[in-house]
Amino acid sequence: MPATSHDVMPDIELYQPTDEENALALANSLGSDGWILGGGQDTYGWLKDRNKTPVAMIELTQIDAWKGIKETADGVEIGAVTTLTEIVQNPLIQSKFALLATAASKVASPQIRNVGTLGGNLNQDARCWYYRRGLDCYRAGGNICYADSPEGLNREHALFGASRCVAVTASDTAPALVALDATMVVASSSGQRLVSAQDFFVGPDRDITSMTVLNEGEILTAVRLPNEWANAEFYFEKVADRNVWDFALVNVAAAMKVSGGSIEDARIVCGAVECTPRRLEAVENAVRGQQRSEQLANQVAAIASDGARPLNYNHFKVPLMENLVKRAIRG
């Protein structure tokens, strides 16, 4: 009997629908056996390491209806299969929602942004190396969190919202979309539903096996940005070990409406500090109606880390988060 190489890709059926109806029908019929595939930057790592074994993949890149960027009466709609490079370079996004263009430009590397999609960046799974290596942690169906243990390596893990799992959201675009009060368009064979970006992401206390509200058979098809936050004053900054091809240690996305130097309204969100993008509503309330200044930034920065519970090796994230929020408010 011939030997089988471990390096051979396992047998997986590949479907490449070209229209919405067919894609949604496939997602419905395949259920948990079907893997939704965009640019594949998250997918292929899982397959290479043999830690996910889907029966079939449904590739969405042939569906033109879920691609592109268009202006609507209420704002802008971005197809979920639109590449990150298209978002970075799009004049409409640059002029009205530069926060998202900047955030997308910080994802990984130019080569990855050329093929990686907005939907893929938003729906990527947790980046904890214990989970990714196939260990039987809580998120993988086991009864331990290896990162949250006396010997655990948890430098990149959560400050907030831990509930058995301490992995963080890895997406750079997610905090920007929450800050912009975006709406996610979720479709299935039974219809369409709209979910706010803030509610789209879920923590382990709600569902430890998923990081979004997507159910079996559902696909994120588009993201809508409301004109309410168009042309606001934006700030995005990402701190990572390397500037290229690395995930954030902490990032911040802020949208502020400023008039006469006074902050009329604000939405401030941090990524990589919790399993979901963390909206800093207490900070928003503290700056609303105040003059934007260095003094104000210094006064409210510490509010950002209220309730943080650092792990063995990520205490540095507390002052890092506070400083990023300070810089966002200061501008």
The pLDDT tens digits for 293-303 are 999 999 999 99
Residues in CB range of 2: below 8 A, 6 or more apart: none
Backbone dihedral region for residue 155 (phi beyond 0: left; psi -120 to 50: alpha; all else: beta): alpha
Cβ distance 324 to 237 under 8 Å?
yes
Query: Global pTM?
Result: 0.96
pLDDT at 1: 45
Backbone phi, psi, residue 108, to 5°: 50, -115
What's the whole-number mean pLDDT along residues 208-227? 97
Q: Band the pLDDT of 6: cuts 50, 70, 90.
A: low
Cβ distance 322 to 299 under 8 Å?
no
- Lowest average pLDDT, out of 38-47, 55-64, 88-97, goes to 38-47
pLDDT at 47: 80
Distance CA 284, CA 257 (A): 11
Distance CA 43, CA 52 (A): 9
pLDDT at 48: 76
CATH topology of domain 13-330: 3.30.465
**Residue 181 clears pLDDT 70, i.e. is over it:** yes
**Residue 190 clears pLDDT 50, i.e. is over it:** yes
The pLDDT tens digits for 94-125 are 999 999 999 999 999 999 999 999 999 999 99
**Residue 147 clears pLDDT 90, i.e. is over it:** yes
**Residue 2 clears pLDDT 60, i.e. is over it:** no
pLDDT at 4: 47
**Residue 5 clears pLDDT 60, i.e. is over it:** no
The pLDDT tens digits for 195-206 are 999 999 999 999
Cβ distance 140 to 167 under 8 Å?
no
